[in-house]
Structure 1
């Protein structure tokens, strides 16, 4: 480490190899006519927000470890709880904040009324309602991934510095000259925005062949970019301030702003961010302070740096009105999704034996509690985004479609299953679009009245229709796949019923008819949407009715009924087959991480599809399996442990072995059988690769590492909130140190770790590993 290019009295140290590889990212720059210094800014912002981050993460752990009942510790905030206003510096009570939201919805001018983006207007190119379609996320390193993102027909792109690219992680055995992905992605963005890759090919060797990539689209047709920085719990080892790692949020927002603002402005765009993992107004205040300080440094009006927010934590939902209020100068919309959100719900109920979730594979975005979550998100965006009766200043954003298509060259010919993925994309986005149709009647409707979309559009009922969910997420840039998702989001509202009622058309997938992309609804699809109140008995779209009289007081908005609808665990079974499936997904993704691959498509033997996994899917599976072992939960349905079998789709888990009867407890012994059968599958999978002569893409020696890690983690009484952090620690460790590090993370109390490190009985990094994995800060309660 050595100081950066700025004032040496500002103790910001950039690791030597980062400065050597990426010198253009750092130092003194002129941005928007102002002279700024990257290192000085990182140091100043870090010092300003580091105490607030430590306090916020301590609050997270206190809540996570609280023994209070779930309905008590995760209740709506007290009405008299107060929050700091970043605009005025005064404090507002939660009641005042929610009352201001209600007043905006009712169109009442009061001292408490507030709405989103009222100071600095939203630019057209980033407006969530003016740019309907998909938001594509993924890393911008290697460079071909950035090119693919810009060539995509998705109107929004999120360069991912969060789930897909932890900054400090390079697996044991990585060449020492390999660049760190986060900084390589920042360098790629800077060069692309400055025009250095315009018209130039980028050649890369893949699978023994040289392939050239180009940016095919003109800059004015590129998707709008919203950089996705890490949340407040992530620190960057490569950048230190006063001898401690700097917050990743500070590093990324500073580097992205200073290196890209001028080039983006020249292209008619701007600096925008997608903020993940916020759980409280206190955490939102950290984000607001960083962005408002950056605006001041480069001479931009407050609220110019716009953001979207991933509403992916159950804990965030209970205080979401206050989070929106803190970010009101810049927040464009809040996103909903299954992955981290489901993991957070499992986490909320982890200590309650009556709150064990059913098989997570059965909990999709159409599950009743997920429907309630999406509707709550849309409702708050409506109430906070209304201006002159129109949803003008914000909009809700849908979640990730994670199934992916197979390429034609798949060795087992599994591209035959692609119609399933394409249809899943269409239905996912159709459901979201219909969920976002909210009708505010001019006068109270008769009890039980449910006007159809046709009634509203024809003016047979008077009021205002709001068409809210016009953007949603996607994980893959393939044109056919993106087009399938774009179509429902971009269709005119008057065309939606026709899409549902279109003639049915099917493709044959192994003898079964699967609706095509353009097909009308199948009976099963129609029945599901009817059961969720999106269609009436005749299959007609029924927008949700948002009655003013039902929301004219804070207590009506944040009622116990709404809390129960969102947070009560859904009903369903715990089956041994899905336990094995969850372990399969966790182990396979963990293996990918240990090999340095953060966004990994896993072959899902149940869905017959590729399923995109990242840190959030790992969180779901590990949290759920841990809770089953922790409570020795009962299997609720007769089933079978399954062994590996070679099929036309490759080696899969699917041959019935031992019976497991309903009522059987998921004991450590039963877990051991699940573990052993997956180990058997792993060996058979590698043997099949060898038989076929397939080149090995990944280091097989990582397989026993993930197996041992999962065995230790799932049998440990210690719950780990950020499950994947263990992967990062162990993945970088030598074989000699892995066992002692796992002891420190899963078993030993912190004072004993301190003593053992001091006495040389644990490696020096054991204490740092424990504190990193568990978000422990020096001086904070432990």
Structure 2
């Protein structure tokens, strides 16, 4: 039974409907803790988002990224180290990623992986049910009570040994419009998705995780610079003090998935050094960030078909080698990214190809010095584990391996001249197809979708739509001679709609409206999920309609 009555407590107001067991998560004490987080950090969050806009404008106007001269002393000081792995994080050779729905929770816990990235970000469509229902599932998983039976009678049971849970909250740029926060001056605005996800999870589960021999661990997404990392570090210290925990109980792994963060890896580690376990090479968001950041800088920054941007192209090699060398110099784990290929249990040949590609990808990462990597499907755990076992043996990681052979310059990170810039008709059609089908899935509440043998999430959809935008604005011509225009892409969207099987429940018409908005308009939305969320996943008027800049709407 659902109740749509608004509930207020202190200065956090629940606007979303309530459902079974939501009251176990949205308790007065938990909401009070989230309100205190907003009191302390909402203003600084807003400042950091404004700074993002300033940096992007400077790059648009011709400034290139560089390693910061003002923080050179941090990079040159070889004495400092990060806190490193907490209990249960020492061996991370394979981590499985995925949303926090009930079925995925059980499958992840039974996967045989060393860790589970429980994702409230890119692999989750942020419906109110997914966010709060996911918190319920995590609460149960931590307490060993997550077994369930489907309406068809299929039973899901969790085994004895389970991965260490690492929560990924939403990034600083996202809001939670089903919770409003009233500050001490009486101003009310949507809550921060980051502070809501972190706060509810930490408040309810930190002590239980510690008692289980592990701890409250987090992946930090979409960080763009070391000052954003400092903000997270202060959130952690405040939260530990609030619950009476020792400083450093929290451990965080930062996703280096923005081009700006790649230039500040050591500074990010330094800011989080008392709470940091490592860095992760978030490859898909990294590619999206590069396109987004340099989208207006001319044809030299135009990337080719998405499937041509592999991990072996020079600018991606520079990024990953710098990450490994940086992490190991500071005693941090270097965690590899996700190969998008997934098996198909109904197609043995497709499965064979997927396993071979994942094996190659994980072999490269293990031999490059990564301490672990990600997979998106339980059937991939074994093949990824084999590649890391072959390199690590009985060792939990290879942090002691120093990459003294790595010397990466700012030019290396931005070296797009050494790749081919070939765009094909098929590449354009593929981007339209993926963007449309993924967004439709996202609108129906599924944030990780298997499409054409690949696991697509918000990051890969962002690549697809941002490439379309960039190709249109730079009047790129395909190798077949086709000029990429708004009209062409609009026709391709219509053709995709016409050839896609439809149901009464599908959201393809809404998905098409979103894709046109984020790929065909003059303005480039910083994230497609911001307008999509505001217009389609909540019932409140959108901030965009009121003229509020997307990323600072909260």
Q: What TM-score comes out, normalization by structure 2 length?
A: 0.90
Residue 307 of structure 1 corresponds to: 252
Question: Which residue, out of 203, 213, 216, partners 2:156?
Answer: 213
Give secondary structure in 2 for the equivalent of 1:227.
strand
Question: Which residue, out of 160, 175, 196, partners 1:235?
Answer: 175
Is 1:675 aligned with 2:493?
Answer: yes
Residue 339 of structure 2 corresponds to: 401
Maintained 8 Å contact 1:280/1:316 = yes
Residue 525 of structure 2 corresponds to: 720
Maintained 8 Å contact 1:133/1:487 = no
The alpha-carbon distance between structure 1 residues 769 and 166, as it changes in their structure 2 partners (threshold 3 A), is farther
Question: Which residue, out of 129, 139, 156, partners 1:190?
Answer: 139
The alpha-carbon distance between structure 1 residues 405 and 123, as it changes in their structure 2 partners (threshold 3 A), is same
User: Which runs of structure 2 are paired with 1:56-71 in the superposition (5 Å)?
Assistant: 56-66=48-58, 68-70=60-62
User: Which runs of structure 2 are paired with 1:674-713 in the superposition (5 Å)?
Assistant: 674-682=492-500, 685-686=501-502, 699-700=505-506, 702-713=507-518
Residue 353 of structure 1 corresponds to: 298
Residue 398 of structure 2 corresponds to: none
Maintained 8 Å contact 1:236/1:248 = yes
Maintained 8 Å contact 2:543/2:553 = no
Is 1:613 aligned with 2:456?
Answer: yes
The alpha-carbon distance between structure 1 residues 195 and 417, as it changes in their structure 2 partners (threshold 3 A), is closer
The alpha-carbon distance between structure 1 residues 416 and 256, as it changes in their structure 2 partners (threshold 3 A), is same
Superposed CA offset, 1:153-201 (max 9, x none) = 111001111112343x36xxxxxxxxx111111112212323334xxx5
TM-superposed CA distance for 1:407, in Å, is 2.4
Residue 22 of structure 2 corresponds to: 22
Residue 318 of structure 1 corresponds to: 263
Give secondary structure in 1 for the equivalent of 2:41.
helix
Q: What TM-score comes out, normalization by structure 1 length?
A: 0.65
Maintained 8 Å contact 2:305/2:427 = yes
Residue 185 of structure 2 corresponds to: none
CA–CA separation in structure 2 for the residues paired with 1:357 and 1:76 = 23
Maintained 8 Å contact 2:60/2:296 = no
Give secondary structure in 1 for the equivalent of 2:552.
coil
Residue 426 of structure 1 corresponds to: 359
| Unaligned stretches of 5+ residues in structure 2 | 1-5, 183-187, 395-400
Is 1:368 aligned with 2:306?
Answer: no
CA–CA separation in structure 2 for the residues paired with 1:771 and 1:97 = 40
Give secondary structure in 2 for the equivalent of 1:720.
coil
The alpha-carbon distance between structure 1 residues 153 and 770, as it changes in their structure 2 partners (threshold 3 A), is farther
Give secondary structure in 1 for the equivalent of 2:168.
coil
Is 1:471 aligned with 2:356?
Answer: no
CA–CA separation in structure 1 for the residues paired with 2:216 and 2:139 = 12
CA–CA separation in structure 2 for the residues paired with 1:369 and 1:563 = 5
**Matched residue pairs, number?**
537
CA–CA separation in structure 2 for the residues paired with 1:18 and 1:289 = 32
CA–CA separation in structure 1 for the residues paired with 2:32 and 2:494 = 53
Give secondary structure in 1 for the equivalent of 2:333.
coil
Maintained 8 Å contact 1:136/1:475 = yes
Is 1:377 aligned with 2:323?
Answer: yes
Residue 215 of structure 2 corresponds to: 270
Residue 404 of structure 2 corresponds to: 546
Maintained 8 Å contact 1:312/1:340 = yes
CA–CA separation in structure 1 for the residues paired with 2:209 and 2:393 = 36
Residue 626 of structure 1 corresponds to: 469
CA–CA separation in structure 2 for the residues paired with 1:622 and 1:584 = 10
Greater shift in the superposed pair: 415-424 or 272-281:
415-424
Is 1:488 aligned with 2:480?
Answer: no
Maintained 8 Å contact 1:42/1:254 = yes
Superposed CA offset, 1:717-737 (max 9, x none) = 100111122332343489xxx
Residue 425 of structure 2 corresponds to: 576
